[in-house]
Amino acid sequence: MVKDEKLQLKAEIDRRSGFCFGVVKAVEKAEALLDKGERVYSVGQIVHNDEEVKRLRGKGLITIRHEEIHNLQGKNILFRAHGEPPETYKRVKRHNNVLMDATCPIVLKLQRDVRKAWQEGREIFIFGKPGHPEVKGLVGQTDGQARVFQNMGELQDMNIPYSLTLFSQTTMNPDTYQQAAEYLKSHGARVDIRDTICRQVSGREEELRDFSRHHDRIVFVAGRHSSNGRMLYEICRHHNSRCHFVSTAREVQRAWFTPAEHVGISGATSTPQWLLEAVAQKIEAF
């Protein structure tokens, strides 16, 4: 085949991929002020996608660390969808900053439920990733006393109290959550099970399986630091070995494809639609 001959590839974007509504809300809140020429300070990356962060930075969004909050006064400070512990709210208010709270509504409800259970004297167990921003926000509702585990091995190393309430980070695997609940009950614990996993994320597994199987090849688009992206990519790869992970359209390579392939493009809940479309356009241009 002539080197520059078009491959006649067809690209289809997974209609369920892209920003979840919590991330959409956070980005819309930021852009509403950025488009007026105001600066917005995001506590941590607004979304785990470097390309989207770069786009918003071009509009005036500034990403800061928690320890930098005390340097700001009278500024627009954004809390991203992951949520924050109570102490961060106090830091923002100390210097008359304007709080833009874009915490996902599902996470906000989860925080309230964790706080209520803690105030009622319950032992709190959280199935989640230690150090993850959402988990930090949840643990903060318990004065740092909640116990966090991210797999069955970590849970099995813990002392199990007589009674506890079991929560979960919203993006964790529901099967492992149920396994954890059964393990706790089998060890004599009275478990108040609060299934707080967001089905917009966990419910994608079956759809991704079908999407992956019905395409010759998959290009999965997500930020390198997106745990959700890595999890969903592995699901795609399990059901279609011809699967490639990219963070930008620049990373897509012509050499991956053979003529007339039907290519599926999917992404994480932190992947913007414009980036998925850019990848599709590049593939169809080969």
E-strand stretches of 117-242:
124-127, 147-149, 163-168, 190-193, 217-221
| List 51, 52, 84, 134, catalytic entry | 134
- Are 232 and 268 in contact by the 8 Å Cβ rule? The answer is yes
Q: Which residues of 182-194 are buried (b: 16+ CB within 10 A; e: fewer)?
A: eebeeeebebbbb
DSSP per residue, 13-58: E-TT-S--HHHHHHHHHHHHHHTTT--EEEES-SSS-HHHHHHHHT
The question of whether 251 is a catalytic residue gets the answer no
H helices, E strands: number in the chain: 11, 12
- Rounded CA-CA distance 205/202 in Å is 6
With beta carbons less than 8 A apart as the criterion, state whether 167 and 126 touch: yes
CA angle (129 as vertex; 227, 41 as ends), nearest 5: 65
In whole angstroms, what is the distance from residue 216 CA to residue 262 CA?
5
CB 252 within 8 A of CB 220: no
Catalytic site positions: 134
